[in-house]
Chains A and B, each alone.
Chain A
Amino acid sequence: MSQLRASLRAFWIVLGRDLRVYVSYRSRLFSQLLTSVFSLTLFYYVSRLVHVSGFATPADYFGFVIVGIALVGVLYSCFSVAETVRQELIAGTFERLVLSPFGPVRSVIAMAVFPLLYSFVLAAFTLTLGWLVFGLHLHWSTVPLAVPAMLLALLAFLPFGLAFAALTVVMKQGNVGVSWVIALISIVGGLYFPISLLPEWIQTATKFQPFTPSTEMLRHLLVDSPQATSVLATIARVALFAAVLLPVSIWALGRAIQESQRRGTIVEY
Chain B
Amino acid sequence: MRALSPQPAAANGVPAAAPAPAAVPIAGPAAESVPLALSGVSKSWKGNPQPVLTDVDLKLDIGTTTWIGGRNGVGKTTMLRIAAGLIDPDRGRVQAWGASPRERRANYHRLVAFLPAGDRGLYARLTVRQQLRFWSGMAMLDRDESERRAAAALDLFDLAELADRRVDRMSMGQRQRVRLAMTFLPEPETVLLDEPLTSLDDEGAALLEAALLALRERGGALLWCSPSGDHPDREFDRDFHLEAGRLVSA
Contacts and interface: CB of A to CB of B under 8 A. Distances in A.
A247 interface: no
Interface string B87-128: 110000000000000000111011000101010111111100
A173 to B, nearest CB: 18
Contact of B88 (A1, A102, A261): A261
B86 A101 contact: no
Interface stretch (B18-26, B77-85, B208-216, B233-241): B77-85
B86 A107 contact: no
A229 interface: no
Q: Which of B121, B130, B141 has the most CB of A within 10 A?
A: B121
Given A14-B137, A107-B138, A20 B118 contact: no
Nearest to A264: B87
Contacts, number: 102
A226 B120 CA distance: 53
Interface in B33-58: 43, 45-46
B3 to A, nearest CB: 25
A6 interface: yes
A91 B126 contact: no
Contacts of B166: 24
Given A6-B140, A9-B143, A91-B121, A100 B135 contact: yes
B139 interface: yes
Interface in A91-143: 91-93, 95-103, 107
A75 interface: no
Nearest to B140: A6
Nearest to A260: B87
A92 B116 contact: yes
Contacts of B141: 1, 6
Interface residues of A, number: 35
Q: Which of A21, A99, A267 has the most CB of B within 10 A?
A: A99
Contact of A95 (B86, B105, B110, B140): B86
A13 B133 contact: yes
A255 interface: no
Interface residues of B, number: 38
B112 to A, nearest CB: 8
Interface in A1-37: 1, 3, 5-7, 9-10, 12-14, 16-17, 20-21, 24-25
Interface in A35-70: none
A92 B120 contact: yes
A147 to B, nearest CB: 28
B182 to A, nearest CB: 8
A207 to B, nearest CB: 40
A263 B46 contact: yes
Contact of B138 (A3, A97, A261, A266): A97
A264 B126 contact: no
A195 B49 CA distance: 55
A9 B142 contact: yes
A88 to B, nearest CB: 9
The 5 closest A-B pairs by CB, nearest first: A92-B120, A13-B137, A100-B138, A6-B140, A101-B106
25 contacts: A3-B140, A9-B137, A9-B140, A12-B137, A13-B133, A13-B137, A21-B125, A91-B122, A91-B123, A92-B116, A92-B118, A92-B120, A93-B120, A93-B121, A95-B121, A98-B85, A99-B86, A99-B114, A101-B106, A101-B140, A102-B138, A261-B87, A262-B88, A264-B81, A264-B88
